[in-house]
Structure formats: C-alpha cells, structure tokens
Chains A and B, each alone.
Chain A
Amino acid sequence: MNKEIIICNQVSKTFHTARGDVKVIGQLDITVKENELVVLFGPGQCGKSTVINCMSGLEPVSTGEMTVAGKLVEKPGPDRGVVYQRTALFPWLTVMGNVEYGPKVRGMAKKERQERARYYIKLVGLDGFENSYPNQLSGGMQQRVGIARAYCNEPAVLFMDEPFGHLDAQTRYLMQEDLIRIWEKEKRTVVFVTNNIEEAIYLADRIVVLTNCPTTVKTEYPISLPRPRDYVDPEFLKLREVISAVVDKTL
C-alpha cells in the first residue's frame, strides 16, 4: 500500500477583490497516494487551477491545511513541479537552457545538470532539439519541454494544469500516450487537471470530480482499465458517458 503524499485537509480559498469576496474553493478534502496519477476533473471555471496553485504553493490557502510529503505547503518549492496550461517557457533560453534551469539555480554542477537534462530531453523525445529556441518548436514540442523541465527537478510531485488544452485532438492523443509512457518509466505522483473526459479516463488511476465554484469533491472514480487504454473500448465509452453525466453543467 503506497503512502499518502498529498493531503488536502478542509482547504478553502477565497479571493478578496474590489467587487467583494469570491470563494473559489469550498471545504476541499483530497488525498493522493505516492506514484498515483490523479485527474482533477470538473466544469470550466470551477477552480481546478486554483486547487493546483494551492497544492504547489503558488497561492496560499485561506483556511485548512495542505501538506505534501509531510511538509506544510507555504510557498513553491523544487519538490513540486508544475507544467502550465500555457507553455511558460523562457523564450530567451534554448531547450537545454529551459530544462536545466531548475538544477542550475540550485547550484548543481554544469556537467551533472546537463547530463540529467539530456536524459529528460531524450525521455520526452526531443533529442536533437537541445539548441532550439521555444519559438522554433510546435505547440506539442513546447509542452514536451515543459514536461522535461518539470521532471528535471526530480520533484516528489508533478502538477499538470491542462497541459494539452490548446493542442488539437490528434496531437493530444500522441501527448497522452507519451505522458503515460514517461510516467510508467519515471514514476511520480501526478496531479493532472483537465476538462476533457477522454483525456481524464485515458490517463487516470483515479478521477476526482469537482463541483462548480466554490469547488469541492463531488465524487471519485477509480479507473482500473488496463493500459494502454483504448478510446473506443466499450467500457471506456461507458465510463465517459457516466462521468460526463455526473459533472455539473456550466452554461
């Protein structure tokens, strides 16, 4: 039995704005086990990204407690990697520069960190592109750099906030297949946010369905279909129908 690595205990988040308080997260309880791939699935604007931002430490929680690997989350840290919705690469750095950035600022020796970066660049299938700049790469390739950069810090937990949201349906399939391949080779705890049900079922060990804002857990589905999963398998399609029906509607 794997131990629990993320514990989100009665967490709430309220933003104070000029137009008044906006409560985005209600009383949220989520636990994630080590090396589990959990998908947070919910309607648009339900607060999925805010949950990720609280887990990664980019946003402080308003009430409740968030712990990762036994430590209270108070600020971002190298033990928690984030792959963003928009490819947040440094445009003035090459692929190598982007991927080695984390270890570099933590003072790792050049030889060691570049060796490590090269390993992850190869893992995401970008060997040969070490010296390319982000604007020379396609959308799918940029997102691969983002994944390699997050992995290169060797974090305990990886957060992915709709990383494939702006890719076309076919590139998305490719990236999903690759993500599972990478994850199976380099097991990590992954919390993956999406509003695409196909993607959720393809990837997840467990899908946590969130409610509309202020968001809480609506229900959970362990997904036990064998991998690699088939998008047109009858059981896959059945799950898609069941989970789609349960999600809150946004107009």
Chain B
Amino acid sequence: MDEIKVKVDHMTKQFGDLLVLDDVSFEVKKGEFLCIVGPTGCGKTTFLNCITKLYEPTKGEILINGEPVDLKKHNVAYIFQEYSTMSWLTVAENVAFGLKMKKLPQAVIDREVAEVLAMVGLTQYKDYYPVELSTSMLQRVVIARAFAVKPELLLMDEPYGQLDVELRFKLEDELLNLWRKTGTTVIFITHNIEEAVYLSENILVLTNKPTTIKERLVNSLPQPRNVVSPEFIDVRNRVTELIKWW
C-alpha cells in the first residue's frame, strides 16, 4: 500500500459570491509527480494557494501525512510563476535562504548549498547577482532554492510558462532528474498540455469555475518520453479534448 502524502478533503474556496473551488477531493501519493491542468481562469493558482495556506479554504481540509498543513512542521517548497529571486542576494545566498530560516548551522548550510548548486550546474555562478543572470539561470536558482530545503512536497505553478521550447525541454529534464534523485512529491500546475504529458505520472484535469475535478488520468508512457511519438500525441490529444474551451 502506497503512503498518502497529501489528502485534499472536500476543499471549497469562495471569494465573496464567487465560488472558485467547489468541493474538491483527491490524494497524492508519496513520491508522485502530479500535473494539474485546466482551462484558463479555472482557479489553478487558487488551488495551490489553498494547499499552502496562502489562502484559507472556505470549507474542507488539506492534510499532509495525515495532519492539517502546518508550514512550520511540513517541509513544503513553492515555485511561483514569476521568477522570485531576491535581487539583493547572490545566487548562493538566494539558495541558502530557506536553510537560514530554519536556523541550521552555517557549515550545514554551506554544504547543502554547494551540493544543490552543483546539481543545477550553477556552482561557478554562486557569487553572481540575479540581474547578471539569464532567464533560464534565474529559474534554476529558484529550483535550487526549493530543492535545498529537501522538501517533502514541491509545488510548482507554471514555472516554465514564458520560456521557449528548447529551454523548457531542458529544464523539464533537469526537474525530472532532481525528482528521481530526491524522491520528493511534486504537484505541478501548467496551462501547457504537452508539458503535463511530458512530466507527469498522473494528470488531474479541472473543470471551469466553479472548479471540480473532471478526470484523473494515469499517464503510463515510458520515460524518457518522445513528444512527437504517436502514443504521446494520443495522450496529449485526449487531455486537450478534456479541457478545450478555445
């Protein structure tokens, strides 16, 4: 029996009269890579923000390891849509930020930072400031910062939305490698159906507002995946059909 990492239990979120999430329930297994897709404006980001308690759900509960989410206890990392590096800190200081918050000894912080910078290939840029880096490097800094705290749950909100295809593929492959190495549980939100099919083990398809779960697809395409293979395109078309509103 697989261990349940995240349990979302009858989650409802209302902003005034506007019902965004309507009684949503699902589970994520430990070590699972789950992608969430849905039509534009369906409340995907609200969904993540409820999981992290940036918003308090109107009704329902979110459990991590069977306990209500408590960010002091649970090790959750969040990667936002916008590149959220801190411009006044160097690459190494950005990556160390979460570890410092946890008040770890400096020697441990140094070791962890060095390790994770090596994983994303930024060792030689550790003393650079964000303004000196390209977009892809900035996104790597953010990913390194998230992985540095060895999160048990990693939430990603459309992190590669603005990147061109080549770069996106490259960073996606890096992400998959990190995920395999660390065994962390990932919930990844995207508008990009190709990306969801490329990354996920499971895909959660959401409906339009008020949002509920339309379908949960098991994506059993073998890794590494080939985006031009007929099998891949078949899954991509199936997901597209489920959410197509345009």
Q: Which of A's residues lie within 8 Å of B, judged by CB?
A: 43-44, 138, 165-166, 168-171, 173-174, 177, 195-198, 232, 234, 237-238, 240-241, 244, 247, 249-251
Interface centre among A169, A237, A238, A247 (most CB of B within 10 A): A169
Closest B residue by C-beta to A41? B164
Kindly list the 3 A-B residue pairs having the minimum CB-CB distance in the complex, ordered from nearest. A174-B246, A169-B191, A168-B191
Residue B3 is within 8 A (CB to CB) of chain A in the complex: no
Interface size on B, residues (CB 8 A): 25
B32-62 Cβ-contact flags toward A at 8 Å (1 or 0): 0000000111000000000000000000000
A173:B165 contact, CB within 8 angstroms? no
Within 8 A of A (CB), among B220-246: 227-228, 233, 236-237, 243, 245-246
Q: Which listed segment binds A: B10-18, B130-138, B147-155?
A: B130-138
Contact A238 B228 (CB under 8 A): yes
Bound-complex Cα distance A44 to B136 (A)? 11
**B243 contacts which chain A residues (CB < 8 A)?**
170
Q: How far is the CA of A251 from the CA of B162 in the complex (A)?
A: 15
| CB <8 Å contact, B135 and A44 | yes
Given A170-B39, A170-B40, A171-B246, answer yes or no on A250-B165 (Cβ-Cβ < 8 Å): no
With contact pairs A44-B164, A168-B191, A170-B39 given, residues A232 and B237 touching in the complex (Cβ less than 8 Å): yes
Chain A's nearest CB lies how many Å from the CB of B174? 15
A168 touching B136 by the CB < 8 A rule? no
Q: Is the CB of B245 within 8 A of A234?
A: no
CB <8 Å contact, B228 and A241: yes
CB-defined contacts of A169 to chain B, threshold 8 Å: 161, 190-193
Instruction: State whether B246 touches A232 (Cβ < 8 A).
Output: no
A196 to B107, CA, bound (A): 44
Smallest CB gap from B236: residue in A: A232
Instruction: Point out which of B39, B164, B191 has the most chain A C-beta atoms below 10 A from its C-beta.
Output: B164
- Is A244's CB under 8 angstroms from B192's CB? no
- Chain A residues within an 8 Å CB radius of B228: 234, 237-238, 241
CB distance from B185 to the nearest CB of A (A): 25
15 extra interface residue pairs, beta carbon distance < 8 Å, beyond A169-B193, A170-B40, A197-B164: A43-B164, A169-B190, A169-B192, A171-B246, A177-B246, A198-B165, A232-B236, A234-B228, A238-B228, A241-B228, A244-B164, A244-B165, A244-B166, A249-B166, A251-B136
Q: How far is the CA of A196 from the CA of B41 in the complex (A)?
A: 22
B135 proximity list for chain A (CB < 8 A): 44
Q: Which of B227, B233, B245 touches A170 (beta carbons < 8 Å)? A: B245
Identify 17 residue pairs between A and B in the complex whose beta-carbon atoms are under 8 Å apart, listed by A's number.
Answer: A44-B135, A165-B162, A168-B158, A168-B191, A169-B191, A169-B193, A170-B39, A170-B246, A171-B246, A195-B164, A197-B165, A237-B227, A240-B165, A247-B166, A249-B166, A251-B134, A251-B137
Residues of the A chain whose Cβ atoms lie less than 8 Å from the Cβ of B164? 43-44, 195-197, 244
Closest CB of chain B to A180's CB: distance in Å?
Answer: 13
Instruction: Please indicate which of the listed interface residues A177, A237, A249 has the most CB atoms of chain B within 10 Å of its own CB.
Output: A237
| Complex alpha-carbon distance, A82 and B137, angstroms | 32
Determine the chain B residues whose CB is within 8 A of the CB of A197 once the complex forms. Answer: 164-165
Measured CB to CB, the closest approach of chain A to B170, in angstroms, equals 10
Question: Contacting B40 at CB < 8 Å: which of A171, A237, A249?
Answer: A171
Shortest beta-carbon distance, A164 to chain B, in Å?
A: 12
Alpha-carbon distance between A174 and B227 when the two chains are bound, in angstroms? 22
Which residues from A are CB-within-8-Å of B237? 232
Task: Assess whether A250 is in contact with B233, with CB atoms less than 8 Å apart.
Answer: no
By a CB distance below 8 angstroms, the chain B residues around A195 are 164
Write out the residue numbers on chain A whose beta carbons fall within 8 Å of the beta carbon of B236: 232
In the assembled complex, which residues on chain A have CB atoms less than 8 Å from the CB atom of B137?
A: 251
A238 to B246, CA, bound (A): 25
Residue of B whose beta carbon sits closest to that of A140: B40
- A241 surroundings in chain B (CB, below 8 A): 228
Q: Are A170 and B191 in contact (CB under 8 A)?
A: yes
Distance, CA A233 to CA B237, complexed state (A)? 11
